Amino acid sequence: MISAWAVEAVARLDAERERTPATPLRRFPLPDGWQVRLWLKDESTQPTGSLKHRLARALFRQAIASGRIAEGTTVVEATGGAMAVAQAHFARLLGLPYIAVMPEKSSGEGVERLGGTCRHVDPPLAIYGEAEKLAEEVGGHYLDHYAAAAAVDWHGGDLAEELFGQVAECPHWVVVDPENSAYFPGWASGAADYSTGMPSRIEGIGRPRMEPGFVPDLVDLVVPVPDAASVAAARRVRQDTGLPVGAATGTNLWGALELITRMRAQHVRGDVVTVIGDADPRHLRTCHDDAWAESRGLDWRPHATRLERLLDHGEPW
Ligand SMILES: *Cc1c(COP(=O)(O)O)cnc(C)c1O
């Protein structure tokens, strides 16, 4: 029996999806004469400001429809931090208590503003065990987005589906990965249990272990991107669009430029689409701030010069 609360909750989530407009595609300027166009799908226009909004909505919907979240259930998540604001938003929309378990260095500010609670743990790999234990203790539900993402039912909120309606031809797949993350070495070596145990310096992406939601067989190519290059490329996106994007958007631009370079070498024409994962004035104090980058040993300058040579002068990558 589906409760009246669950019916109402699912209806609220669907209504929220209906009134949230499709995120725009922005053209990223490339030198004249290139037969390739680059588009940025701007997920910073989501109500909670990042691409995690879609997945958070789908996870709540699925857990409610299957009875794992009911009226009053405390919702618990293990997260590097990027997912927490979007989930706190939906917990509040549905009147559910929400607790995010995150590494010490992650900020819980946005979560608390939305009425959620943060629990910080160390080392970063302890978030999973702590979230599971906490959910059991309070009789709550551990959403586990790293695992659930592999089999999520998007109910029309899917980024890929929305994108395919906005472009003429189906784009190829590409995935980028920052330093210290397990995805690239795990994908390249075929080791499904690869672990680095190290936190990523690029906010919002990268994981210390291969997550179950990452399905290597579905991925055509993983491009590892140096963190300093991500910072340089995020600054370049800001220069060209005015948006204070996070460093992860720089990682995306860098990966897209690697792919475009391959296409041009092979005389392939077409559109490449990547994602603006988030944009927020607080990034003016992170990757766009010289002192922030220097204190982390991230020398973006040589990478910025490389971007200028390619984008402003059409020189080889
Ligand atoms: C969102 C996401 C991350 C980052 O996780 P958070 O817990 O949101 O910080 C890492 N890997 C993948 C594949 C993701 O989708």
What is the predicted pLDDT for the residue at 280?
A: 93
Quick one: 201 and 70 in the same domain?
A: no
> To 5 degrees, how large is the angle CA 211–CA 165–CA 263?
70
Residue 6 is assigned to a structural domain of this protein: no
pTM exceeds 0.85, yes or no: yes
Give the type of residue at 197. Answer: G
Q: State the residue range of the domain holding 100.
A: 51-151
CATH number at residue 282: 3.40.50.1100
Q: Decide: 207 in ligand 1 pocket, CB within 6 A.
A: yes
Quick one: 40 and 94 in the same domain?
A: no
Q: What values do phi and psi take at 155, rounded to 5?
A: 50, 50
What is the predicted pLDDT for the residue at 160?
A: 87
Quick one: 37 and 81 in the same domain?
A: no
Determine which residue's CA is closest to atom 14 belonging to ligand 1: 205
What is the predicted pLDDT for the residue at 88?
A: 98
3-state SS assignment for residue 259: helix
**Which residue from 135, 91, 143 is spatially nearest to 115, judged by alpha carbons?**
91
What is the predicted pLDDT for the residue at 156?
A: 86
Which pLDDT tens digit goes with each residue over 98-113?
999 999 988 888 999 9
What is the predicted pLDDT for the residue at 186?
A: 95
What is the predicted pLDDT for the residue at 179?
A: 94
What spacing in Å lies between the alpha carbon of 167 and ligand 1's midpoint? 26
Residue 73 is assigned to a structural domain of this protein: yes
Quick one: 297 and 197 in the same domain?
A: yes
Length of the chain: 317
Q: Decide: 205 in ligand 1 pocket, CB within 6 A.
A: yes
Q: Which residues pair with 100 in a beta bridge?
A: 77, 118
Q: Decide: 275 in ligand 1 pocket, CB within 6 A.
A: no
What is the predicted pLDDT for the residue at 174?
A: 62
Residue 156 is assigned to a structural domain of this protein: no
CB neighbours of residue 97 within 10 Å: 16
Q: Of 125, 151, 177, which residue sits at a domain end?
A: 151
Give the type of residue at 267. Answer: H
Residue 114 is assigned to a structural domain of this protein: yes
What is the predicted pLDDT for the residue at 134?
A: 98
What is the predicted pLDDT for the residue at 220?
A: 86
Signed CA dihedral, 224, 228, 230, 232: sign only: negative
What spacing in Å lies between the alpha carbon of 211 and ligand 1's midpoint? 9
Which of 79, 159, 176, when mutated, tests ligand 1's pocket best, judged by the most ligand atoms within 8 Å of its CB?
79
Quick one: 137 and 88 in the same domain?
A: yes
What residues of the chain score a pLDDT lower than 70?
171-174
